[in-house]
Structure 1
Amino acid sequence: MQVTFIGGADGVTGSCTLLTDDRIGVRALVDCGAYAERPAGIPDGAPRLPFDARLLDFVVLTHAHRDHCGRLPQLHRAGFRGPVYCTDATAWMTRLALLDAAKFSREYDASDVEMIDFHTVDRWPDFSFDIPLRLHGLAITFHRSAHILGAVSATIGWRSRVGVARAITFSGDIGGNTPDNPYQSLLAGQSLPPSVDYMVVESTRGAEPARGPEYKSFDARIQAWADLLVDSDARGGGPVIAPCFAIHRAQELWFDLDTVLRVTGAGSPDAFGRPRWLSLDAPLDARMTEVYAAALADRLGPAGAPAYRNPDMAARLGLADEAAVDDYLGALWRRVADNKAPGGTLRAMQDETLSRVIALAGSGMCEGGRIVDFIADQITNPAATIVLCGYAPPTTGAGRLRAYLGGEWPEGMALPLGNVRLDTSRIRARIVDFGDYYSGHGDLDALQRFVFDPAGPEAGPRVPATVFLNHGEAESRIALARTLRTRADANAPDDRTLARVILPTGGQRFDLDSPDQRRENMAPRRRRLSG
């Protein structure tokens, strides 16, 4: 078995890893993501695929974010006709996201999206998380990753050339929720992979210190929102504007803010009779919410336990049982469609009687969409509040707002926000950073837990794992490698043992059946899969 790092090895986008084994006749991808920015040397359009898509047998898709699924239509256009294995929620959200992106793509159209052959493993009667499935002569196991709804890590097992059982785990994107502390509202905690020979681990937050305990507390997060709304009312009760991603962040914010308004009394009318109300103003966000409504009610197994839902939800909401949670969530998601102002949210912000709106809208990075109009309209309003709730590279609108908030934006320089340029001398709205409360990527503690805490009983001696770090900027990968090596050297008795930590580069190939994991270079865009 050989693994080749196609994308995601040199940054946080374009995740795509190729597995090939001509002996057992397997050619497969784990993820096939789009690039947020065009890599160097590609003059126009999306990067060409550095393999013959017609020879691929299947794809394992870890989740529905475009940096993991965005080139699936391009793969189909290039001749791939095999199955894409993923969860049901991932299939639905991937289809919605790619159909939306197809409106603006030069690389594919809606017909390529519609032809993707999703095989939703969690709909199979014999499916369970953390239990292997036999597919294409391999043992493939799916583990909840708690990143977004339906997101998984995947372990792939095979027999080596000499008949030895080997396995490699692909982390996908690792969330923060654990079984002991599912502090983010919607999802159950992640499940960990077993002892394996190889791990491919994301490193998005690898250079950052672990987040403080206040950012890993449901109660602290709800209180932070309550305090923010009290401050907003003290400053005149203007609009609260939160840029959010269509997948997961919009639904998580809706749940949290509905909880704040219901539990703390922050939704009561003010002294002038004006209500505090929620609005989700983005068509794609609303369609994704329909998927959440269905999937968070799903049950798995004979016991009928919720497949993805946070097990602490009933207690946090003061409800008797899971059936009551079903009813609560049904009403909650219906309010997404019901909470609409005549004339739209922007007009409501300008209407004194409706201006206490909490407006959620995309894009989360403030590179376009209605959120840019909302912020541009309210940035000079001292009663308005803008809340940054997620990851944003410094080259995006949200990243620039975060730089301005931190005093890192050059004084007097206009701040680009989508197609708008903000005059920073006229900014009067309060800007608040809640990003650490809502990061969908696990912090340094979560990354170490994933690497060092193997799940399940150990049968015989542990095999030291070789860890490949991808999906991170160079600084993050280097810092995480240093952290992992230092901890591995300590030889803690309960830790997974590590053989090596490797930082692969794009196009690098490793022989997983060789004792020394022999590496080869593969010239991107030229090397083809052999027949």
Structure 2
Amino acid sequence: MKVQFLGGAGTVTGSKTLIESNGVRILVDCGQFQGIKSLRELNWEPLPILPNTIDFVLLTHGHLDHCGWLPRLVNQGFEGKIYCTSPTKDITKLILLDSAKIQEEEAEKANKEHFSKHEKAEPLYNLEQTEKVFPLFRVVKPNDEVQLDAEIVVKFSNAGHILGACSIELQLENKTLVFSGDIGQDDDVLMFAPTKPQKADYIFLESTYGNKIHPQEDVKLLLETYINNTVQAGGTVIIPSFAVERAQTLMYLLWQLKQEERLPDIPYVIDTPMGISVLDVFMENRSWHKLSEQQCVDMCKMFTMNSEYQETVATIFDQQPKVVIAASGMITGGRVLSYLERYIGLPETTLIIVGYQAEGTRGRKLLEGATEIKIYGKYYPVLAKVLEIEGLSAHGDQNDLLHWLSALQNKPKKVFLVHGENEPSDALRIKIQEQYGYETTVPMLGQSFDL
């Protein structure tokens, strides 16, 4: 049996782990690379193996860095089955269609305004190619054992990260392989705590925050303070947000603050069509999160939902103070860019960063104090206040990751640390070896191991 790391190694994006066993090839996640240009360029490279030789794809969850390369995989010949939970199937559909639409629009804009370095800008994939992915989905219920092959069994269990997110247990060749996927915080506002593995020979553990402990901050108090201060200065609050889970968490917290009369009467806007669509998935999958149907309904009443781009334009040019939650979460694309074109150069604006920002993304650059940012080929001065709330992360911190290993009843042969930049991964490697004595490795992109 062999494992090869085709993505999500040395970086938090592009997750792809290939398992080969007795002529069967299984790809765990099929994510898109994001962030620095050298990573993004990998999205255009073919896999080191032919996609038509892969039998199965197992999806941990529906974020773009875990599912966003599926249209390329299918377009290049993959015809196998894609296994995931029901919410992951729904979310992946929304995310891929949104991604394809944005890429088509950005390619068209680049060609029209001539800011692409290429003679003709092309989307990574289009809507037509994306539609070909969906018939390959097979839905799995959590904790059910599914026979992939005569001697291969897979089981999905809750990872707490976003709606439908799971860790994956793969049994083959008398060995148990556990892929954590992205692990949520134990005390998340909306999601239930992750299920811990009890047995594993090999573990593939995410390490996004492998060197960090989330601050014990009062998230609601921070939101209240930042919003009230901005409104008093006559400014607008912009919160770039992942459309799945983060947007809904923010809505819930703002709704609570409004109920407690801690926020002003101003417009509260959700400007992510995908985030609005995800609300339907939330309503249909209440066993996956903590909110009641009534809470979902009441919470939504507080917000103006912008679906059409004309509504976005009207909100942008509305001069009154407001709070806008807009995708994308790492400011790599989407409608948040349209807001920043107008508002990032105004000192009364507050930009609140509420999630992980990968290396090379606009979000990371802003957090690191960039004085200007590039949007659609033009540079804009950064005069807005850029603030961060770390407690809203959908990823567990170092303590959560170490705790996730605490229920193991056997000593695994090896722990591989994936989905992390080098420093966080190495810090977690040292911690695991000190605390548990497990042999722990940080694989490099493209590296393979015999298991």
Answer yes or no: is the 8 Å Cα contact 1:13–1:34 preserved in 2: yes
- Deviation string 1:376-422 (CA, Å, 9 cap, x unpaired) is 42345454322111222353222222122xxxx4xxx5333554422
Distance in 2 of aligned mates of 1:108 and 1:33:
13
Q: Does 1:121 align with 2:140?
A: yes
The residue number in structure 2 matching 1:476 is 424
Answer yes or no: is the 8 Å Cα contact 2:272–2:306 preserved in 1: no
Amino acid aligned to 1:170: F
Answer yes or no: is the 8 Å Cα contact 2:271–2:305 preserved in 1: no
Answer yes or no: is the 8 Å Cα contact 1:221–1:437 preserved in 2: yes
Q: Does 1:449 align with 2:446?
A: no
Distance in 2 of aligned mates of 1:7 and 1:245:
21
| Aligned counterparts, 1:74-473, within 5 A | 74-103=72-101, 104=103, 106-116=123-133, 117-122=136-141, 129-136=142-149, 137-158=151-172, 160=173, 165-176=174-185, 178=186, 182=187, 184-208=188-212, 210-214=213-217, 220-236=218-234, 238-267=235-264, 275-295=265-285, 297=286, 306=287, 308-310=288-290, 313=291, 325-333=292-300, 344=311, 347-348=314-315, 350-351=317-318, 355-404=320-369, 409=370, 414-417=372-375, 419-424=377-382, 427=383, 429-434=384-389, 436-454=390-408, 458=409, 462-473=410-421
- Deviation string 1:247-285 (CA, Å, 9 cap, x unpaired) is 222222112112211223424xxxxxxx32311122232
Which one has the largest radius of gyration?
1
TM-score computed with the length of structure 2 as normaliser: 0.86
Distance in 2 of aligned mates of 1:342 and 1:205:
35
TM-score computed with the length of structure 1 as normaliser: 0.74
Distance in 1 of aligned mates of 2:48 and 2:359:
29
The residue number in structure 1 matching 2:55 is 57
Distance in 2 of aligned mates of 1:46 and 1:370:
24
The residue number in structure 1 matching 2:115 is none
Answer yes or no: is the 8 Å Cα contact 1:206–1:480 preserved in 2: yes
Distance in 2 of aligned mates of 1:3 and 1:70:
21
The gaps in structure 1 that reach 5 residues or longer are 123-128, 215-219, 268-274, 298-305, 314-324, 490-497, 513-531
Amino acid aligned to 2:132: M
Q: Secondary structure at the match of 1:32?
A: coil
Distance in 1 of aligned mates of 2:11 and 2:297:
39
Distance in 2 of aligned mates of 1:174 and 1:73:
25
- Deviation string 1:335-363 (CA, Å, 9 cap, x unpaired) is 656579996355446545xx232111122
Distance in 1 of aligned mates of 2:282 and 2:41:
38
Distance in 1 of aligned mates of 2:2 and 2:57:
16
Amino acid aligned to 1:262: Q
Answer yes or no: is the 8 Å Cα contact 1:341–1:348 preserved in 2: no
Cα distance, 1:34 vs structure 2: 1.4
Distance in 2 of aligned mates of 1:71 and 1:342:
26
Q: Secondary structure at the match of 2:440?
A: strand
Cα distance, 1:437 vs structure 2: 1.8
Q: Secondary structure at the match of 1:213?
A: coil
Distance in 1 of aligned mates of 2:305 and 2:124:
37
The residue number in structure 1 matching 2:10 is 10
**Structure 2 CA distance for partners of 1:45 and 1:503, relative to 1, 3 Å:** closer
Answer yes or no: is the 8 Å Cα contact 1:146–1:174 preserved in 2: yes
Q: Secondary structure at the match of 2:368?
A: helix
Cα distance, 1:145 vs structure 2: 0.9
Name the Cα RMSD after superposition. 2.7
Q: Secondary structure at the match of 1:452?
A: coil
Aligned length: 429
Amino acid aligned to 1:3: V
Cα distance, 1:375 vs structure 2: 2.9
The residue number in structure 2 matching 1:487 is 435
Distance in 2 of aligned mates of 1:341 and 1:63:
27
Amino acid aligned to 1:46: W
Answer yes or no: is the 8 Å Cα contact 2:243–2:275 preserved in 1: yes
Amino acid aligned to 1:152: C
Cα distance, 1:448 vs structure 2: 0.8
Distance in 2 of aligned mates of 1:41 and 1:384:
31
Amino acid aligned to 1:330: V
